[in-house]
């Protein structure tokens, strides 16, 4: 999907994540609920995740999206630090 065809929810979450993770080299948000905005898959590659365990990385994302998560049924999170 091209960036222009992102749903409003995808765009909103990506914007929040870009603000919270300014050092991110890649952020991808996909609505996996069929477009109703109830479930998202998020991929973030960010320097902020270096030296952190996966559970800590996911906690950072959950905290960044704490308001948005209240309106969702589910969230799949994939995080990584850029390759050195």
CATH of the domain at 34: 3.30.300.90
Domain span at residue 31 reads 8-80
58 located within any domain: yes
pTM over 0.95: no
Q: 31-68: string of b/e by CB count within 10 Å (b at 16+)? A: bebeeebeebebebbbebbeeeeeeebbebbeebbeeb
1 located within any domain: no
Q: What is the pLDDT of residues 24-80, one digit of tens each?
A: 999 999 999 987 889 999 999 999 999 999 999 999 999 999 999 998 999 999 999
51 located within any domain: yes
30 and 40 in contact (C-beta within 8 Å)?
Answer: yes
Rounded-to-5 percentages of helix, strand, coil across the chain: 40, 25, 30
Domain count, the chain: 1
């Amino acid at each position: 999907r091209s960036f222009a065809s992102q749903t409003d929810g995808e765009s909103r979450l990506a914007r929040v994540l870009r603000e919270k993770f300014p050092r991110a080299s890649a952020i991808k948000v996909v609505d996996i609920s069929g477009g109703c905005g109830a479930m998202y898959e998020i991929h973030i590659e960010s320097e902020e995740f270096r030296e952190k365990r996966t559970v800590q990385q996911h906690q950072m994302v959950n905290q960044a999206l704490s308001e948005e998560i209240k309106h969702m049924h589910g969230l799949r999170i994939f995080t990584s630090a850029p390759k050195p």
